[in-house]
């Protein structure tokens, strides 16, 4: 055992995963959560983003499964759906609907609230984890702040009844999210505040929840479970909704979240303007799908989407006795679905380090921060690769105008080229899936000559008319359901309205 007591600040995904890790190395683990946690999969005040779609990337899925064995099976048993996006999702790219075919990547689809409920159930089964609800953390108690001997000793708190208390701890882990006050408490105790890397691309997204129609009443063309419409690259006049990244996102209980988001555009927040915007999204199937469903919520809008990395790894003297995991240290633009998985990956790093039996001294904290930095570099680079393209973006990570123009000009075309090559080159498909799921860095992929060979070869074949999987199906029609997994023997879906060769644009 590394100590008697560990305290986790926050009972969301990051906090629960961290508690699961700590339970194997401390006599008691105390989770302090401000909200009263629901027994079932319900929204709560401390997680307003739960009303929007959440992807659990494969690296995060595996990390949570390593912390809580059986997590994926429990999530599926509770209603989560294990799907293959290339077969079960319809993607509308710049030139129209992409072809449907099998791929290497699977995902488990569910709501954020179900993911949390399943993890909470796992935590509640661990005898030495205590979750205290209705708790407001008011400060950290420490000594010798800012020196090599400085250490966080415990947590000051206030109960729901207003009683002030103190909990001594051998280790405190801050998982309070974007709004964490830990830096202020540390600064007041003598530590230097860490630098912050920031980039806010003014992303706003808006969502509404729907019940799907009964299975026997759904259109025959609904082979898909998930609809994705990417922003247009047309530089001419078009409705601003063509700039949206739009999702018809399936969740448990025969429900879906209709979500639209954009960079720098004011998004609808009322029912009438939301529905009108859905109908102006460039793929007509998106509006048709919404109207076939029954709304069950109001419209939910979120603007708190900036990227922020608090660089504890750059401190000359990090605070001993305190670690930071999740949005408390690195918050991402939610468009990229990296938050939960990045937090779980950090918790897994802590698990590996605690298993070594190393003392919780300065060397331990410096080593953890270095390894965490290496892990966070992967999603951070992906977020920067797109968000640096906008001239209205603000923060420390904005780039020179010439570089911004290059990113704006080529990021979506490169993304489309990768997707196109992936249809006929398993190596390209696997490489991109690894980057998307945070198993490989963007830098590694960009330096891979075999990857670029696959892109160039596909483009040459395309120019010569020698590609074998058709693409660019008319976005004004339903997504074609033909399965092109074997291009020599395509299998047409009974409900498809497009010819197997596609309505090429």
Mean pLDDT of the region 127-133: 97
DSSP code of residue 270: S
Domains contained in the chain, CATH given: 3-54+111-197+308-384 (3.50.50.60), 86-108+200-302 (3.30.9), 401-463 (no CATH)
The residue among 156 and 404 whose pLDDT is bigger is 156
Tokens of 392: 């209205």
Q: CA 389, 394, 397: angle at the middle one, nearest 5?
A: 70
Could you tell me the sign of the dihedral formed by the alpha carbons of 340, 191, 312, 202, in that order?
A: positive
d(CA 364, CA 371): 11
Q: Quick check: helix, strand or coil at residue 496? A: coil
Mean per-residue pLDDT for 65-89? 97
Q: 300-329 burial, b for 16+ CB within 10 Å, e for fewer?
A: bbbeebbbbbbebbebebbbbbbbbbbbbb
pLDDT of residue 467 exceeding 70: yes
> Which residues touch 23 (CB under 8 Å, ≥6 apart)?
29, 126, 128, 129
Residue of 450, 419, 359 whose CA lies nearest to 151? 359
Note the pLDDT of residue 500.
39
What are the pLDDT digits (tens) for 364-409? 999 999 999 999 999 999 999 989 999 999 999 999 999 998 888 8
Cβ within 8 Å of residue 78, ≥6 positions away: 41, 110, 114, 117, 118, 252
Mean pLDDT to the nearest integer, 449-456: 96
Contact (CB, 8 A) for 473 and 494: no
Q: What is the per-residue pLDDT for 502?
A: 40
Are the CB atoms for 366 and 384 separated by under 8 Å? no
pLDDT surpasses 50 at 503: no
CA nearest neighbour of 317 among 189, 148, 143, 173: 148
Cα 491 vs. chain centroid, distance in angstroms?
33
The first and second tokens of residue 316, run together, are 């000359």
Position 234 pLDDT exceeds 90: no
pLDDT at 483 over 90: yes
Q: How does residue 497 score in pLDDT terms, banded at 50, 70 and 90?
A: low
> β-strand 136-143 against 81-83: which pairing, if any?
unpaired
User: Could you say which DSSP state residue 194 is in?
Assistant: P
**Distance in angstroms (rounded) separating the CA atoms of residues 99 and 481:** 8
Parallel, antiparallel, or unpaired: how do β-strands 226-229 and 89-93 relate?
parallel
CB under 8 Å to 460, separation ≥6 — which residues?
Answer: none
DSSP assignment of 204-239 equals EEEEEEEEPPPGGGS-TT---SEEEEPPP---SS--
Instruction: Answer yes or no: are the C-beta atoms of 320 and 9 closer than 8 Å.
Output: no
Distances (CA, A) of 478 to 223, 305, 380: 10, 32, 35
| pLDDT tens by residue, 93-104 | 988 999 999 999
pLDDT tier for residue 479 given thresholds of 50, 70 and 90: very high
Task: Say which DSSP state 98 is in.
Answer: P
Give the residue-averaged pLDDT of 452-480: 94
- pLDDT bracket for residue 496 (50, 70, 90): low
Question: By CB neighbour count within 10 A (0-12 exposed, 13-18 middle, 19+ buried), where does 417 fall?
Answer: middle
Residue 501 has pLDDT above 70, yes or no: no
The alpha carbon of residue 250 and the mean position of all alpha carbons in its chain are separated, in whole angstroms, by 16
Q: With 60 as the cut, is the pLDDT of residue 69 above it?
A: yes
Longest dimension (CA), the chain: 75
Which of 127, 44, 109, 98 has its CA nearest to residue 72? 109
Tell me what pLDDT residue 212 has: 98
Separation of first and last alpha carbons in the chain: 64
Q: Give pLDDT tens digits for 246-268.
A: 999 999 999 999 999 999 999 99
Q: Which of 37, 366, 18, 49 is nearest to 178 (CA)?
A: 49
Measured CA to CA, the distance from residue 433 to residue 18 in angstroms comes to 26
State the DSSP code for 318.
Answer: P
User: What pLDDT is stored for residue 1 in this prediction?
Assistant: 57
Measured CA to CA, the distance from residue 413 to residue 400 in angstroms comes to 21
Measured CA to CA, the distance from residue 136 to residue 176 in angstroms comes to 11
Q: How confident is the model at residue 495 (pLDDT cuts 50, 70, 90)?
A: low
Region 445-463: mean pLDDT is 95
Q: Token pair of 179, please? A: 């709004």
pLDDT band per the 50, 70, 90 thresholds, residue 423: very high
CA distance 137 to 182: 10
Strand partners, 107: 83
Q: Return the percentage of the chain with pLDDT > 70, whole number.
A: 97
Quick one: average pLDDT of 85-112?
A: 94
Summarised one tens digit per residue, pLDDT across range 362-372 is 999 999 999 99
Q: Do residues 119 and 13 lie in contact, with contact meaning Cβ atoms separated by under 8 Å? A: yes
Decide if 331 contacts 307 (C-beta within 8 A): yes
Averaged over 229-258, what is the pLDDT? 95
pLDDT digits (tens, 9 = 90+) for 158-196: 999 999 999 999 999 999 999 999 999 999 999 999 999
For residue 139, pLDDT beyond 70: yes
What are the pLDDT digits (tens) for 305-335? 999 999 999 999 999 999 999 999 999 999 8
151 bridge partner residues: 143, 320
State the Rg of the chain over Cα.
24
Residue with tokens 């010569």: 464
Interatomic CA distance for residues 487 and 468, integer angstroms? 6
* Contacts with 200 (C-beta within 8 Å, 6 or more apart), sequence order: 305, 306, 307, 393, 394, 395
């Amino acid at each position: 055992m590394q100590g008697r007591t560990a305290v986790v600040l926050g009972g969301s995904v990051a906090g629960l995963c961290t508690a699961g890790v700590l339970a194997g190395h401390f006599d008691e683990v105390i989770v302090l959560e401000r909200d009263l946690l629901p027994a079932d999969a319900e929204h709560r005040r401390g997680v307003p983003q739960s009303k929007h779609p959440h992807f659990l990337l494969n690296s995060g899925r595996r990390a949570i499964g390593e912390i809580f064995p059986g997590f994926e099976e429990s999530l599926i048993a509770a209603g989560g759906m294990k799907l293959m996006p290339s077969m079960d999702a319809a993607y509308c790219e710049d030139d129209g609907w992409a072809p449907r075919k099998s791929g290497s990547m699977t995902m488990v689809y569910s709501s954020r609230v179900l993911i949390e409920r399943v993890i909470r159930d796992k935590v509640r089964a661990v005898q030495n984890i205590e979750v205290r609800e209705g708790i407001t953390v008011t400060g950290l108690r420490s000594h010798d702040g800012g020196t090599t001997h400085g250490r966080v000793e415990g947590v000051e708190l206030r109960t729901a009844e207003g009683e002030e208390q103190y909990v001594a701890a051998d280790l405190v882990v801050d998982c309070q999210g974007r709004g964490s006050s830990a830096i202020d408490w540390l600064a007041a105790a003598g530590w230097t505040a860490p630098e912050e890397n920031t980039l806010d691309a003014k992303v706003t997204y808006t969502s509404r929840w729907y019940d799907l129609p009964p299975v026997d009443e759904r259109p025959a063309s609904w082979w898909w479970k998930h609809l994705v419409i990417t922003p247009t690259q047309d530089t001419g006049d078009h409705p601003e909704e063509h700039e949206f990244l739009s999702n018809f996102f399936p969740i448990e209980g025969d429900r879906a979240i209709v979500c639209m988001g954009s960079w720098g555009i004011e998004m609808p927040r009322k029912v009438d303007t939301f529905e009108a915007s859905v109908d102006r999204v460039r793929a007509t199937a998106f509006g048709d799908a919404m109207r076939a469903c029954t709304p069950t919520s109001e419209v939910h809008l979120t603007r708190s989407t900036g990227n922020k990395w608090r660089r504890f790894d750059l401190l000359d003297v990090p605070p001993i006795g305190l670690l930071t995991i999740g949005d408390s240290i690195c918050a991402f633009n939610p468009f990229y679905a990296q938050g939960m998985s990045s937090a779980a990956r950090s918790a897994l790093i802590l698990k590996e380090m605690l298993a070594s039996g190393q003392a919780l001294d300065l060397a331990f904290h410096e080593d953890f921060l270095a390894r965490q930095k290496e892990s966070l570099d992967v999603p951070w680079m992906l977020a920067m690769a797109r968000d640096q393209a906008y001239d209205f973006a603000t923060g420390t990570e904005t780039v020179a105008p010439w570089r911004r123009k290059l990113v704006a000009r080529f990021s979506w075309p490169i993304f489309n080229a990768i997707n196109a090559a992936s249809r006929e080159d398993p190596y390209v498909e696997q490489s991109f899936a690894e980057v998307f799921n945070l198993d490989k860095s963007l830098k590694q992929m960009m330096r891979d000559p075999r990857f670029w060979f696959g892109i160039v070869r596909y483009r040459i074949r395309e120019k010569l008319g020698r590609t074998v999987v058709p693409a660019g199906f008319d976005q004004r029609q339903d997504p074609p359901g033909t399965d092109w997994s074997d291009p020599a023997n395509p299998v047409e879906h009974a409900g498809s309205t497009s010819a197997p060769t596609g309505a090429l644009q």
